[in-house]
Amino acid sequence: MTDPFQNVDAAGPEFIHVFANAMEVRQSEPAMETIVARYLDKLAFSEGSLTVEVGSGAGAIARRIADRAAPGAVIGFEPSKGFVEEARIRAEGVENLSFEVADGAALPLPDDAADAVVMHTVLSHVDKPDTLIGEACRVLRSGGRLVICDADFSKSTLSSFANDPLDICAREFTSHFVTDAYLVGKLRQLIADAGLILEDFTHETRVSSTREGMRPWVDRVTSLMVERGDIGQPLADAFVAEFERRADNGTLYGYQVFATAIALKP
Ligand SMILES: C[S@@+](CC[C@H](N)C(=O)[O-])C[C@H]1O[C@@H](n2cnc3c(N)ncnc32)[C@H](O)[C@@H]1O
């Protein structure tokens, strides 16, 4: 199965609705708010500035950027029509924020138009991250900045002990909902190859101990395993029951590393 984030509209309206909400829940976690606030703190927004989010999904990050950048303009470009519709509804009344359907490989902007480009958990979902970085460079003005924030999915885990069977859900997620789990390890080279200057590269952890952010993924990966015929429904139910048991007794331990790179266009 191909990572559904490569073509969200093909995954259908139910996927769009469930995962628009899941991304909202993820972003509202304190650890994620801190990660985003830290990189936004490092961008200087002026009155006439233009900030672009590439792969803006349902707009959870774009709304936070717009809040900081106001009255500067923010445009979220997103290839999924379904996500763009959700994003527009969720951002109603935010005057400096708009969304357009566009692929990150071909942004409808002239050269040197943007002061900053943000890619938040996007490059780990594409086959050719260098193409998106190159396009971001084209639209950035000299002195503008590219922010890439992504999870190092190769290190994500749900394990609380050696050979923890619940970790199969984390590994299934990485296999089927991520295109390149090792993207973060390649970022320095990708940035250098694009001719950008890396100014800042930080790593922060996200520890999830509540059910809200992870339960839709556990449902989805266990259903997939059943659909493929790899496991039967009783084992899928047991994974969900174990997940719920840990969520109830406070022992749920989802661990991810998030990396943020800030790069300058000379
Ligand atoms: C995990 S979501 C992140 C959405 C949003 N940045 C957030 O954090 O809430 C990944 C997003 O990347 C988008 N995406 C996938 N391929 C893309 C491409 N070639 N160009 C731009 N966006 C892309 C998907 O449609 C999806 O909205």
Write out pLDDT tens, residues 178-188. Answer: 999 999 999 99
Protein residue whose Cα sits closest to atom 26 of ligand 1: 57
- Return the pLDDT at 169: 97
Give pLDDT tens digits for 84-138. Answer: 999 999 999 999 999 999 999 999 999 999 999 999 999 999 999 999 999 999 9
Tell whether 55 is covered by a domain: yes
* CA atoms within 13 A of residue 23's CA, in its CB half-sphere: 22
Tell whether 223 is covered by a domain: no
Q: Which atom of ligand 1 is nearest to the CA of 8?
A: 25
| Residue 103's CATH number | 3.40.50.150
CA angle 189/193/194 to nearest 5° reads 120
Tell whether 159 is covered by a domain: no
DSSP state of 232: -
Domain that holds residue 59: 4-153+180-207+258-264
Any ligand 1 atom below 6 A from CB of 213: no
Tell whether 251 is covered by a domain: no
Domain count, the chain: 1
Q: Is the pLDDT of residue 262 over 70?
A: yes
d(CA 9, CA 87): 14
Tell whether 233 is covered by a domain: no
Q: Are 140 and 146 in contact (CB under 8 A)?
A: yes
What residues contact residue 136 under an 8 Å CB cut-off, 6+ apart?
52, 54, 104, 107, 117, 119, 146
Tell whether 244 is covered by a domain: no
- How many angstroms separate the alpha carbon of residue 188 from the centre of ligand 1? 21
Q: Is the pLDDT of residue 16 over 70?
A: yes
What the block records as the tokens of 171 is: 């590994």
- Return the pLDDT at 75: 98
Confidence band, pLDDT 50/70/90 cuts, at residue 1: low
d(CA 214, CA 82): 22
Any ligand 1 atom below 6 A from CB of 124: no
Tell whether 249 is covered by a domain: no
Any ligand 1 atom below 6 A from CB of 122: yes
Tell whether 68 is covered by a domain: yes
To test the ligand 1 pocket, which listed residue (6, 63, 109, 122) has its Cβ within 8 A of the most ligand atoms? 122
Any ligand 1 atom below 6 A from CB of 256: no
Protein residue whose Cα sits closest to atom 23 of ligand 1: 55
Average pLDDT over residues 56-66: 98
Largest interatomic CA distance in the chain: 58
